């Protein structure tokens, strides 16, 4: 008799089409007034021996039915969830909500890149004002008055200061050398990135541009170190292991000896490529700090010596990233910024840049 009840209840469990039907089956079988429960209640009227046997069988039946219900419940829940998920289907080909991170200007990125490289060599970053006086921009840097070298600088002038000083927009970052040496004691090892100004505007000149200056002053740094420093920088910056460098004697009032540095390139087919291709491209000026400059800053030139270098930031950025026109750096053309700019988290460093 229990067998037929079991088959009947199991069939009802299997036939339950949804969770509420299943719950009805559970109540019918195992609820307070359920059929199995009813049979359990009848056990009280039986003798001890029979009650034990019957009770065991009923308990077995009860557990079996409960297990079947739970299994069925799991199945039905999965089915119900599948149906609900199917109903919730969306068109994932629709575009996501727009999020547009901006871009970092190539000048800033280049400054960060070169700062990372020079930081490895123990340089720190120094800065100074764009509006300078004649003393810091020229005189202290050993430019004789009226010397032709001053003329090469196409200086922008401002009205004279109240104390008669001739005010101007710095034509190079070198005045910060002076400001640094006037305040810091050797050893000095700084780079100086910043805005610079010259009154010139054509295909290859803009009235404002950026330079980075380097200055090292200690008791033993010589031209071999200057070469070592710049070879390491240029190779690291352009990411070319065998990039050749050529040092040519040149002239700057504030260095002696002075040199210009060329890097290897190719101009074949009108396309400029950086690397060991046999041709040369001028990239920076450098030299040993002129004794007069050291003395102008109160540094004993018989004890201290060092080097300085300077280069155009837009120029090296143009060369590295293939940007053809200097003037476009300052036009704030959205299309240009998006194309040549860098994502904000691309922060140059020597670990993974």
Per CB under 8 A, contacts with another protein among 241-270 are 246-251, 256-260
Cβ neighbours, 10 Å, residue 53: 12
Q: Contact with another protein (CB under 8 A): which of 13, 104, 297, 308?
A: 104
Q: Which of residues 311-340 bind another protein (CB under 8 A)?
A: 329-335, 337-338
Among 17, 44, 47, 145, binds another protein (CB under 8 A): 145
Is 95 a binding residue for another protein by CB under 8 A? The answer is yes
**295 contributes a contact to another protein by CB under 8 A:** no
Q: How far is the CB of 185 from another protein (least distance, A)?
A: 14
Stretch that binds another protein, among 7-15, 36-44, 64-72, 116-124 (CB under 8 A): 116-124
Min dist. Cβ of residue 81 to another protein (A): 25
The correct pick among 16, 36, 171, 197 for binding another protein (CB under 8 A) is 197
Which range binds another protein by CB under 8 A, 2-10, 47-55, 216-224, 316-324? 216-224
For another protein, the closer of residues 250 and 353 by Cβ is 250
| Residue among 6 and 103 whose Cβ is closer to another protein | 103
Residue 169, token pair as written in the block: 């927009």
**55 part of the interface to another protein, by CB under 8 A:** no
- Judged by CB under 8 A, the residue of 44, 101, 269, 270 near another protein is 101
Q: Which of 270, 345, 351, 352 binds another protein (CB under 8 A)?
A: 345
Query: Which residue number, 88 or 99, has a Cβ lying nearer to another protein?
Result: 99
Taking the complex as a whole, the smallest distance from the CB of residue 314 to another protein amounts, in Å, to 9
């Amino acid at each position: 008799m229990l067998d037929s009840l079991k088959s009947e209840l199991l069939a009802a469990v299997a036939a339950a089409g949804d969770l509420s039907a299943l719950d009805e089956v559970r109540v019918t079988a195992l609820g307070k007034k359920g059929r199995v429960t009813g049979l359990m209640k009848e056990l009280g009227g039986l003798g001890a021996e029979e009650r034990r046997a019957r009770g065991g069988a009923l308990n077995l039946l009860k557990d079996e039915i409960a297990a079947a219900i739970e299994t069925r419940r799991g199945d039905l829940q999965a089915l119900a969830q599948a149906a609900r998920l199917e109903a919730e289907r969306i068109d994932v080909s629709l575009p996501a909500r727009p999020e547009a991170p901006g871009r970092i200007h190539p000048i800033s990125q280049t400054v960060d890149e070169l700062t990372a490289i020079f930081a490895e060599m123990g340089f720190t970053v120094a800065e100074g004002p764009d509006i300078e006086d004649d003393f810091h921009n020229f005189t202290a840097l050993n430019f004789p008055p009226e010397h032709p070298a001053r003329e090469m600088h196409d200086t922008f002038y401002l009205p004279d200061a109240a104390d008669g000083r001739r005010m101007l927009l710095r034509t190079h970052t070198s005045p910060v050398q002076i400001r640094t040496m006037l305040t810091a004691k050797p050893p000095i090892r700084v780079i100086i990135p910043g805005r610079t100004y010259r009154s010139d505007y054509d295909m290859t000149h803009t009235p404002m541009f950026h330079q980075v200056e380097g200055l090292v002053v200690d008791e033993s740094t010589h031209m071999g170190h200057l070469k070592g420093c710049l070879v390491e920088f240029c190779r690291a910056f352009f990411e070319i292991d065998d990039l050749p460098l050529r040092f040519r004697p040149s002239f700057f009032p504030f260095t002696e000896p002075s040199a210009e540095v060329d890097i290897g390139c190719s101009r074949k087919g009108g396309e400029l490529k950086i690397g060991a291709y046999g041709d040369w491209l001028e990239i920076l000026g450098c030299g040993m700090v002129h004794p007069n400059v050291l003395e102008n800053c109160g540094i004993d030139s018989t004890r201290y010596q060092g080097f300085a270098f300077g280069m155009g930031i837009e120029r090296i950025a143009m060369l590295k990233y293939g940007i053809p026109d200097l003037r476009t750096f300052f036009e704030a053309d959205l299309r240009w910024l998006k194309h040549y700019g860098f994502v904000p988290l691309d922060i140059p460093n020597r670990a993974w840049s």
